[in-house]
Amino acid sequence: MRTHHGDGDGGDDGGSEAIDVEDVGGVTVVRPHGEMDIVRAAAFHEALLSALRREVHPHEVCVDLRYLAFSDSSGLNALLTARATANETGQRLYLAGPNPQFIRLLEITGAIDLFTIEPAPPS
């Protein structure tokens, strides 16, 4: 199953401001594209919580950050909230493929040790 949380161009093509959600081998993959700031953080937060509300529990949610060009603290806050929800519900939320800017954001905020980081999402 694949869903598209549009924001920006309104297309279903995984455009530069899309947040895609799909199931890959029992893992729900949330894939934001483009830049994550306060304007887009609410849609990102909702996509993450929707992924964690799936009927099959416990399960894994992978946040594929390979197509995220930039994120400010509002994007990180959405991830931290989703991480707390995952922990409370016995699910696993992890990050895949973050760029150096996002790694730096995790480091300077002290959040780097709160997430498991994989080089790539499941395929």
What number is the average pLDDT over the span 88-98?
96
Q: What type of residue is 6? A: G
Strand partners, 96: 64, 118
What number is the average pLDDT over the span 24-28?
93
**CB within 8 A of 32, min separation 6: which ones?**
18, 19, 40, 44, 47, 63, 65, 67, 68, 75
CA 3 centroid distance within chain: 14
Q: Kindly indicate the confidence band of residue 17, based on its pLDDT and cuts at 50, 70 and 90.
A: confident
- In terms of DSSP H, where are the helices of 21-69? 38-52
Rounded to whole angstroms, the Cα distance separating 9 from 16 reads 8
Q: What type of residue is 81? A: T
Question: DSSP 3-state assignment of 41?
Answer: helix
Q: Compute the mean pLDDT over every residue in the chain, rounded to the nearest whole number.
A: 90
Can you state the percent helix, strand and coil of the chain, rounding each to 5?
Answer: 35, 30, 35
pTM of the model: 0.88
pLDDT of 92 strictly over 90? yes
